[in-house]
Structure 1
Amino acid sequence: MLNRDDEIINRFNKQYGTKLYCYLKYSTPYELLFSTILSAQCTDERVNQVTKNLYKKYDSLEAFAKADVDELAKDIYSLGFYRAKSKNLVACAKVLLEKYNGDLPKSLEELVALPGVGRKTANVIRGNLFNDPSIVVDTHVKRISKRLGFTKETDPLKVEMDLMKKLPKEQWILWNLHLITFGRTVCFAKKPMCKECFLNDLCNSKDKVV
């Protein structure tokens, strides 16, 4: 018989499958990196709408490296924090060209050293491009992991460390994918759909709607 945590993981796998995928649309490694940078405080759907034209206008790392920061900021205005994101994209493109010959580094330490790249973004890259098991702690993962009792922490790094201890490595990337879908369709921040939830009998959250 599965313990509670394993049963939760098993139900997520049955409900959403175990195929790896990415919500952000991209055709090159640097596009995924840039889209992830742009997704801070913004929805993946909105990022995909903007980058559809953005990656046509700036169709190479060289184009981003040479881009006018103010013009690029206007191109990504609707994504929020556009000035900082614009500066980071240009600076990041230059570093990738000058230091890595246009490739993306693989290590966490090198990735987080890139302009605009934090641990969350680095883990997206490691998991999706290099198949390096990693846990991405976004707002859904942080909220739902706590609700389900997989962590008591609120700091993203501490949440990540707790999840690394609790989850099998093969579930690290899936946990993010499953909880994003779950958080968008069932376990909302406000008014979660507890009565329709396939984890209702296993959830002891104080936010649970009876």
Structure 2
Amino acid sequence: MSVEKQKILIKGATILSMDSKTSNFPVGDVLIEGTKITAVAKEITITDAEMIDAAGMILMPGFTDAHRHAWQGTLRRLMPDVSDLMSYVNDVHFDIARYYRPEDIYIANLLTALSAIDHGITTIIDASHNTRSYSHAVAAVDALQESGIRALYAPGFPLGGEWEQSFWTAGLERLQKRSFPQMD
């Protein structure tokens, strides 16, 4: 069944709507049709939906991480002592980052986004300050889009190493037309 036609009924959760137009429920149900929440109520009776028993669980909207460098997601725990910020910046930005290929950016962004979703973060602002070329930007955006996370891609130029300066003129517009045509 396609996602657009799928119905999921989450039953018996403590619902914290975080929305002044929707009630909170000590015990309630949420109906999802496709990718949209279509009903939130004390009780929803429907027979043609996949049911998830959420008794004893809290259901609320996903969190937003307003400052994440998704390309660094694969570097977690690589450096045990990150209390020295300047050592971290030197090691990551001036040594490691310059070797990132577009496929490395893709893998890091995808893993970072999926990990965020797994932890209840459904929206991120990706401060992507290792955008070395148009291909790096495409890889970053493709990974975010394919993960299913809501994301604002905020490209930034690298702190060290070589990078394609022409990206910041024609490349950004080209990326927008390729990856976000609805913005035209």
User: Between Structure 1 and Structure 2, whose CA radius of gyration is higher?
Assistant: 2
Point out the structure with the larger strand share: 2
TM over 0.5: no
Point out the structure with the larger helix share: 1
TM-score, with normalisation over the residues of structure 1? 0.23
